[in-house]
A and B are shown apart, each in its own frame.
Chain A
């Protein structure tokens, strides 16, 4: 019976991917992902780092990791950071899915429990995140995943605080040029007034 179920699910899975379209809903949760970022923790982009470890999910019994060739770990937006932001929308079709936009690491799969420390890059924006990992087969298609949060993506989320991008020099230049423009305007009026006095 189990074998039949496995064959049917494999067949369905293959059917879904025959046109190159990989659907997230078709992927088994075969991986366990653990991140050092705790629930509600606030990390700083450009300063802090996250340590992630990825391993095979021992509780899912009827699977084999023979077809796992590559593993990628990504930083993904939590639902609260996707609200009213179409450019971060979750789609079932992984080609158009925009949930996970930052790569933590991208390595060939070697069967061991992988642990990796990632320095949060400066262009990561302020938002609430979780970590997800995909494994790929030879054809570079996703075949399984794992993530640090639950299915509803409501658990174990953390916040990253992005950099502002402002520097003291920009602030000063901005203020000075603005003042210069306004003073020039005053200057123009003074010149005009003088012109009208000369002509009379």
Chain B
């Protein structure tokens, strides 16, 4: 069927999992570490988890750090904003780097570049130094993009939502786990080694720093960019064309769907980051729980990521089987709207147990929305997948910066008012999903345009000259594999009839 691939050895290669024509796995086996697919999965979620642990290592130790460095509430707030703002541009840059150099090199490089910021946190001596280390450590959250890119390169459209959701969710778990890990490490050092409090927190920071460094090594030596090898090797053998940066970038920023998803991601993931930063203080101040209890409640918000974000990804894949891309978009819209409603409710509830209950349900919905978003992202562009992922990811951080600056800084709004208003903003910003339209599959309210195929959409990213040179081969294969996004009803719809896909 179709033309035989140029390299006959490639067809004979055996993979541990069943694969499609791009050699992306069509199944997801969680407990396997088989090269290259499942190994890439485990490397990516563990390294992303390490970066999250480092970025949010400071919040649970703030009561100690604020006394040691003589921080004011403004200093703490600014450092929290700095921690999430660095990644706004780093995520876009990471997307570009993945498109050009491959996720393996891009992510291990970033992780090693930001590890010094975590090591140097141990010697911070002033509010300014504290802000700087949190700012630079926060850049490491750009590994999110390489994680999603890597999963989209290794897993077929049928399971890409699941792969993205699990790797993203289990990485985000770090933000919750750190609220338990850091205080534990701190008290071990304080009581067992007998260091004073102001020394113990400093030593504690070496743990996330070392973990992060080790994960970079693991990615570099054990990982592989694509099912068939690393970019370097594939480019030399001609199987992969080394793409042109400005073209990749241009096709990403001119695709309006990338911008819409960037905005909506700001109101699920951005909200999640904001909550990570403010929720412990909220429970501590409003309900008079002690800091330890507030930390546990804060941790449970982040720990819901264990199943809620992956659940969103799996749900996306599940609805796509029957309803295709339109199902993915509808589910995203509904889940994120409900998340906004629950956020609005959270600020209004005056009882502790009620608040914790609403917060937990809210966490499930908002994190599932994150997973659902990345069920759509892999289909927005094939050529510029990295930059689109980066824009969406960066948009998430912009949302976090915006909400913290508008609602959670200074004393304009009380924290509960801020939370409710944030809920309203979530609902308003989610409405734009109505504007997303894929000509080959449709949007929320409109069906697909007659006669438009997946090839029309993905190959439009390449010029005639580029197509003549055969640079677009991967997009051809992807178009074929993404036909499932039509859903069951669309299976009979037109297929590209031009050569070379005549049976």
Contact = CB atoms under 8 A, between A and B. Distances in A.
Chains A and B bind each other:
yes
Interface of A: 83-87, 96, 122-123, 125-127, 162-167, 170-171, 173-175, 177-178, 180-182, 184-185, 188, 192, 195-196, 199-200
B351 interface: no
B120 A122 contact: no
Contact of A188 (B119, B206, B220): B220
Given A123-B196, A170-B123, A181-B116, A196 B209 contact: no
B119 A178 contact: yes
Contact of B66 (A87, A178, A185, A196): A87
A185 B114 CA distance: 11
Interface in B116-145: 116, 119-120, 122-123, 125
B146 interface: no
A21 B79 CA distance: 37
Contacts of A126: 70
Nearest to B230: A195
Given A86-B285, A171-B123, A195-B233, A181 B115 contact: yes
Contacts of B66: 85, 87
A97 to B, nearest CB: 13
Contact of A162 (B112, B198, B210, B232): B198
Contact of A125 (B70, B72, B123): B70
B120 A199 contact: no
16 contacts: A83-B72, A84-B72, A85-B72, A125-B70, A126-B70, A162-B68, A162-B70, A165-B201, A166-B199, A166-B202, A173-B122, A181-B113, A181-B116, A182-B113, A184-B112, A192-B232
A163 B203 CA distance: 15
A173 B209 CA distance: 12
A151 to B, nearest CB: 25
B213 interface: yes
Contacts of B203: 170
B122 A174 contact: yes
Interface string B57-101: 000000100111010111000000000000000000000000000
Given A178-B119, A178-B120, 10 more contacts: A163-B198, A165-B196, A165-B201, A166-B123, A166-B202, A167-B199, A177-B119, A177-B206, A177-B213, A184-B217
Interface in B215-243: 216-217, 220, 230, 232-233, 236-237
Is chain B's interface secondary structure helix, strand, loop, or mixed overall?
helix
Interface residues of B, number: 42
Nearest to B199: A165
Contacts of A173: 119, 122, 206
The 5 A-B residue pairs with the shortest CB-CB distance, nearest first, are A165-B198, A178-B116, A125-B67, A84-B72, A181-B115
Nearest to B205: A174
Contact of B236 (A127, A165, A196): A196
Nearest to B195: A165
B475 interface: no
A85 B220 CA distance: 44
Contacts of A181: 112-113, 115-116, 119, 213, 216
A188 B105 contact: yes
Given A87-B66, A188-B105, A164 B285 contact: no
Is chain A's interface secondary structure helix, strand, loop, or mixed overall?
helix
B39 interface: no
Interface string B275-319: 000000000010010000000000000000000000000000000
A167 B206 CA distance: 14
Contacts of A162: 67-68, 70, 198
Given A87-B66, A174-B119, A199 B237 contact: yes
B322 interface: no
Contacts of A175: 119
A126 B71 CA distance: 10
B109 interface: yes
A42 to B, nearest CB: 14
Given A87-B66, A199-B233, A170 B202 contact: yes
A165 B68 contact: yes
A84 B73 CA distance: 5
A188 to B, nearest CB: 5
Contact of A85 (B73, B105, B232): B73
B321 interface: no
Nearest to A124: B67
B72 A188 contact: no
A36 B55 CA distance: 44
B197 interface: yes
Contacts of B453: none
Given A165-B199, A171-B123, A174-B122, A125 B68 contact: yes
A195 B232 contact: yes
B115 A127 contact: no
B420 interface: no
Interface in B450-477: none
B47 interface: no
A33 to B, nearest CB: 24
Kindly name the residue among A84, A174, A199 whose own CB sees the greatest number of chain B CB atoms within 10 A. A174
Nearest to A96: B288
A175 B199 CA distance: 17
B281 to A, nearest CB: 9
B164 interface: no
A185 B112 CA distance: 6
A164 B109 contact: no
A82 to B, nearest CB: 10
A92 to B, nearest CB: 16
B123 to A, nearest CB: 5
B108 interface: yes
B216 A184 contact: yes
A165 B200 CA distance: 8
Interface in B337-382: none
B112 A182 contact: yes
A110 to B, nearest CB: 34
A170 B70 contact: no
Contacts of B200: 165
